[in-house]
A = this chain, B = another copy of it.
Amino acid sequence: MITTTCLHSDTKKFDNDFPVTELSDFCENEQNVVWADVSDPTSEDFLELAEEFNFHPLSIEDCRNAHQRPKVEEYPGYYFIVLYEAELTGERDDLELRELNIFLGKNFLVTVHSRPIRAVETARRLWGEWTDRAEHGSGLLAYLMIDAIVDDYLPLLDIISERMDDLEDQIFGDFQQESIQDIFRYKKQLLYLRRSITPLRDVFNTMLRREQPIFARETHVYFQDVFDHVIRVADTIDNLRDMLGSTMDAYLSVSGNRMNVVMKRLTSISTILMSATLIAGIYGMNFDLMPELKWRFGYVFALLWMLVTALGLYFYLRKIKWL
C-alpha cells in the first residue's frame, strides 16, 4: 500500500491524496518534496515505483529481498538506504529487528517496509511540526526518520545494561546455569544489534567526508548529528560486549574459586571422618590381647579419642581456611 505525502513548495501545504502516477511530474519542480511510504509492498507497487522514480533494477531487487545488511548505496540520482529498527518484545525480551528501505533523492523520499515502523510515524509527526525548515526538503525528512531509528537503540541498550548489572550481582552471589544462558542470549542480541548499526558508521563516515552533490551544506549538519548518534550507539554496544566478556571472565574466576572451596571442604570432611573411622576400626580388631578393651572406661576413652582427633583436625582445618 502506497501512502503519499507531498509538500507544495509555493503554498507550503501538505497534500496526502496525491496520485502515485503523477509523482514524477510533481518532482520536476525541484522545490516540491514528495514522500511515498510503501507498507507491505506488492509487485505492482515495485513496478509503479521503479517507473515513476526511475529506480535501478538492482536496488528494487535488494528492496524485494528482505534481510539485506544495513547500507547506503549511491545510485544515479538517489541513495538507497537499508536500516533496521530494533525493539525488545515479549516476556523474555526477545529482540525484534524490522527492516526499513529508503530511496532518498534530491526532493523525494520513498520508504518501503513490510512491518509497521515506529520511526516512520515519528518522522511524519515531526515533519508536520518543522515546516519552518522545509527548505531542507527530503534530506531533513530522512534525517528525522534515521535519527528516530538510531535513537531508539539507546533505551533498548539501557535495558540490556540493567539486566547485565543483575547478572553481575548473581555472579558474586548465587549463580545458576540459567545465568550463563542469559549471558549467552545477551551476547547474541548485542551481536545482532551491532550488525544492524556498525555498517552505518562507516557509511555515514564516507558520506560526510565525500563532497555530497545531492544535499545542501546546511543539511550536512543534520547528518553529522545522526553520525554522532550512530557512533554513540556503536560505542555503547561495544562497551556492553566488553562488559559481558568481563562478566564471563569473572564468572570463570569465581567458579574456579568455588571449586577450590568445595575441594578443600571435601578433603577436610574426608580427613575427619576417615580418622574417626580408623580409630573405630582399630578397636574393632579381634586380637586376644588388647588391654584397652578390658579397661573400664575403654569405650568412653575410644569415643573421646575420636572426638579429640576430629575436633583437632576441625580447628586446624579452620585455621588454614579449608573449612
Contacts and interface: CB of A to CB of B under 8 A. Distances in A.
Interface of A: 56, 58, 62, 68-69, 71, 73, 75, 168, 172, 175, 177, 180-181, 183-184, 187-188, 191, 195, 199, 221-222, 224-225, 228, 231-232, 235, 239, 242-243, 246-260, 262-267, 269-271, 273-278, 280-299, 302-303, 306
B298 A288 contact: yes
Contacts of A246: 184, 187-188, 191
Given A225-B58, A249-B248, A253-B180, A191 B239 contact: yes
A168 B188 CA distance: 12
Given A75-B221, A254-B180, A299 B303 contact: no
Contact of A273 (B56, B222, B228, B275): B275
Contact of A257 (B180, B262, B298): B180
21 contacts: A172-B180, A172-B181, A180-B250, A191-B239, A191-B242, A252-B253, A252-B256, A253-B255, A259-B259, A259-B263, A263-B263, A270-B274, A277-B278, A282-B303, A286-B286, A287-B295, A288-B298, A289-B295, A289-B296, A289-B299, A291-B299
A320 to B, nearest CB: 11
Nearest to A272: B274
Given A243-B191, A250-B183, A253-B252, A287 B293 contact: yes
Given A58-B221, A253-B180, A299 B287 contact: yes
Nearest to A321: B174
A253 B260 contact: no
A253 B248 contact: yes
Contacts of A191: 239, 242-243, 246
A274 to B, nearest CB: 4
Given A69-B235, A253-B248, A254-B177, A288 B293 contact: yes
Given A180-B253, A277-B281, 11 more contacts: A172-B177, A172-B181, A183-B250, A191-B246, A255-B260, A262-B263, A267-B269, A274-B274, A280-B281, A287-B293, A290-B299
Contact of A232 (B68, B275, B289, B298): B68
B287 A298 contact: yes
Contacts of A271: 269, 273
Nearest to A281: B280
Nearest to A296: B289
A260 B259 contact: yes
A31 B56 CA distance: 24
A284 B289 contact: no
A193 to B, nearest CB: 12
B257 A177 contact: yes
A302 B292 CA distance: 15
Nearest to A271: B269
Given A69-B228, A69-B235, A191-B239, A253 B256 contact: no
A299 B286 CA distance: 9
